Amino acid sequence: MRFLASFWRDARAWDRSVKIGVVMGLVLLIILLTLILIAPREARPLLLVGVIGVVIVMQVLILWGNRHLVTPYTRAQQQFLAGDYEAARDTLRVSVAESEQNGKRPSVDTLTLLGNTYRNLGLLRESLDILTTALQRQPQNPFPLYGFGRTLLAAGRFADAEASLQRSLEAGGPSGIMFDVALAQVLQDRPDAASESLRAIVQDTAQDTDRRWMAQQLLPVEQRGSHSLSGEERQAGAMFWQKETARFASTPYGQRLNDLLRDSRHGR
């Protein structure tokens, strides 16, 4: 019954043409099934092929009808990836409020994304608070651990950030987190501890372009090697870190990033 209620709720949002198509498909399906029951045995395989065809067409119609139906979490993810952090924050706040009104706790994924959104809006205290809540529920979840580490990094708590990022990596987080660990080490004036990871990142073409570009900048000139990025990749990497530095310009993290990039431009 719950499935039918959900199906009916979604169906009301379909385009008129989709509704008509699905209804026609249901009518045709009933006719074909009836014919299978009364038709001669030799005609049934052909009718069965017709049934399969109608079912496939109906599935396509239903998927097309549901193309605009996304969860608040998915919508917030899309807004976050598009850089519209205010919209992502508002979407997630409404989702959290609705969950609490229904006597439910918001998911850890929702809390993590909200914490990351707060960080990118420069609301570091709010980010730490919401990510702490997520970690209280799932202490070994690598994603809130990573988000918590990134917010600590932005707040200038570089040693604490390194510890949280390392925990995220050990808890099964993506291998790319080793860049963030290395960045935290460089920000603590420990370039020797980071150099091996940075060289590996520069050589790993599977890593994000922005991480590879920054890894090159953080290495001494003589250690950058021959694994250079293309002109387009260098431009994209430089643009990403310029935006990152500007976003956190008022934080210790942003100020240290600015110093590191300035030193890199001068070959230090």
pLDDT at 10: 61
Q: What percentage of the chain reaches a pLDDT higher than 90?
A: 47
pLDDT in tens, 184-197: 999 999 989 999 99
- Please give the mean pLDDT across all residues of the chain: 87
- The structure's pTM equals 0.72
Give dist(CA 32, CA 47) in Å, integer. Answer: 6
pLDDT at 230: 80
Please state which of the ranges 66-75, 147-156, 221-230 shows the lowest mean pLDDT: 221-230
Segment 90-101 shows an average pLDDT of 92
Better-predicted residue by pLDDT, 5 or 95: 95
pLDDT at 161: 97
Better-predicted residue by pLDDT, 71 or 258: 258
- Containing H/E element for 95? helix 85-101
pLDDT at 190: 93
Domain spans of the chain, in order of start = 106-259
Q: pLDDT tier at 222 (50, 70, 90 boundaries)?
A: low
Q: How is residue 18 written in tokens?
A: 């989709």
* Strand locations in the chain (E): none
Better-predicted residue by pLDDT, 261 or 9: 261
Q: How is residue 15 written in tokens?
A: 């385009």
Long-range contacts of 157-164 (CB under 8 A, 24+ apart): 158/184, 158/187, 158/188, 159/184, 159/188, 162/188
pLDDT in tens, 8-67: 656 665 678 878 888 888 888 898 888 888 888 888 888 888 888 888 888 887 777 766
DSSP string, 208-238: -HHHHHHHHHHS-GGGS-S-PPPHHHHHHHH
Does residue 90 have a pLDDT over 60?
A: yes
Segment 241-262 shows an average pLDDT of 90
Q: How is residue 228 written in tokens?
A: 């250079």
pLDDT at 226: 56
Architecture of domain 106-259: Alpha Horseshoe (1.25)
Better-predicted residue by pLDDT, 116 or 205: 116
Does residue 144 have a pLDDT over 60?
A: yes
pLDDT in tens, 203-212: 888 888 899 9
